[in-house]
């Protein structure tokens, strides 16, 4: 009833956008991973320098396995870079390293949207895992009227959608910071900056796709609920 009904068509635009975003990230990353920066700085060196210049020298920079697994851990104050970013001096590596350094600096400066997102995460993490199962059980149990489980599922999923919406300005700000820092400190210049921007724009599109999917999924849930009224 939930996975095969006609309302699934609502999700098709978001699915197409998600496939496109993933393909664009991979192709853009591969392209600019082959172009070395004139500064010859590695991703790790760039991140370290940006953190130091931003007064966040206490944040560690670590190498981790995997591809595009780069992230900042606000709980442990650690910026983790995948090996191919940590050790590379490509435009893609510097762009990604600077983006994650941007997140670390957001945390260091108590950037309000990031503070709110981090405080909101524990609730959303639990609720998002329960939302769809509760809604499906409620849908199966409902007769001519919607079940309370459907309403609880919708409420919990609404929180997940809100979290996804809050994530967008956090990610856009980190990318904006990355470009400004790379250019301002002279680590990239001219066409190099344009390349880094393309990498970061492609990555940002994946967050837009995820948010679009979440919003359309919520719309679908509300339509299914209204069909039980």
For residue 199, count other CB atoms closer than 10 A to its CB: 25
CB-based contact 84:93 (threshold 8 Å):
yes
Name the active-site residue from 45, 62, 84, 100: 100
3-state SS of 140-205 is HHCCCCCCHHHHHHHHHHHHHHHHHHHHHHHHHHHHHHHHHHHHHCCCCCCHHHHHHHHHHHHHHH
- Catalytic-residue membership of 84: no
Pair type for strands 60-64 and 71-73: unpaired
* CA proximity to 82, closest of 97, 63, 96: 63
Active-site residues: which are they?
Answer: 100
């Amino acid at each position: 009833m939930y996975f095969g009904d006609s309302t699934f068509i609502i999700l098709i635009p978001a699915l197409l956008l998600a496939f496109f975003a993933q393909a664009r990230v991979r192709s853009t990353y591969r392209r600019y991973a082959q172009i070395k920066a004139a500064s010859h700085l590695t991703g790790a060196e760039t991140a370290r320098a940006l953190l130091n210049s931003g007064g966040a020298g206490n944040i560690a920079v670590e190498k981790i396995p995997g591809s595009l697994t780069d992230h900042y851990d606000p709980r442990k104050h650690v910026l983790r870079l995948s090996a191919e970013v940590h050790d590379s001096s490509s435009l893609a590596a510097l762009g990604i390293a600077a983006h994650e350094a941007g997140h670390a600096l957001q945390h260091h400066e108590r950037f309000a949207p990031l503070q709110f997102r981090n405080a909101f995460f524990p609730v959303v993490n639990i609720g998002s895992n329960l939302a769809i199962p509760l809604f499906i059980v409620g849908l199966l149990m409902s007769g001519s009227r919607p079940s309370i489980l459907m309403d609880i599922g919708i409420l919990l999923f609404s929180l997940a959608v809100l979290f996804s919406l809050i994530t967008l300005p956090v990610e856009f700000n980190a990318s904006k910071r990355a470009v400004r820092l790379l250019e301002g400190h002279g680590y990239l210049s001219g066409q190099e900056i344009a390349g880094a921007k393309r990498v970061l724009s492609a990555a940002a599109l994946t967050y837009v796709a995820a948010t679009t999917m979440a919003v359309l999924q919520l719309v679908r849930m509300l339509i299914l609920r209204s069909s039980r009224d």
